[in-house]
Amino acid sequence: MTEIQKQKMIKLIHTQKTLAGIDDETYICILMGAANVQSSLYLETIQQFSDVITALNNLLIAQGKTIFGGSLPPVSRDVYPLVKRAERILGPNADKRLGGFIRKFGKKSVNDLSPFEIRKCHGFLTRLEQEGVRK
């Protein structure tokens, strides 16, 4: 990645931060959670940039705001907490493990779930959390 590309990515991240209306402390938490850095200046790989941008896009979606480029499908405000909770409980394979449970409803993704099915997924995660699921 060239220095010019890195600067453009940093500008995009800072624009998203401003649009989301988050404070510096929240921003640092997002950076730490997504890329394990405390400043966008320390982002080195495309994957790190992608992870931070995805985290900020998810935040913007949860706030009901438009994301840049429209690259992510719109997500219901009810779905975002479910996905984040699944990531916390299930770890790196959360999308596959939650996806398997979602397919039992005959749905392809979390975006297709009804409010009732979202509650069922939360119940599933609660049971796993209580049983001490292995990540």
* pLDDT at res. 135: 52
**Beta carbons within 10 angstroms of residue 33's beta carbon:** 13
The reported pTM is 0.52
Angle of CA points 76, 60, 32, to nearest 5°: 115
Q: What is the pLDDT of residues 59-70, one digit of tens each?
A: 888 888 877 654
* pLDDT at res. 72: 43
Q: What is the pLDDT of residues 11-37, one digit of tens each?
A: 999 999 999 999 999 999 999 999 999
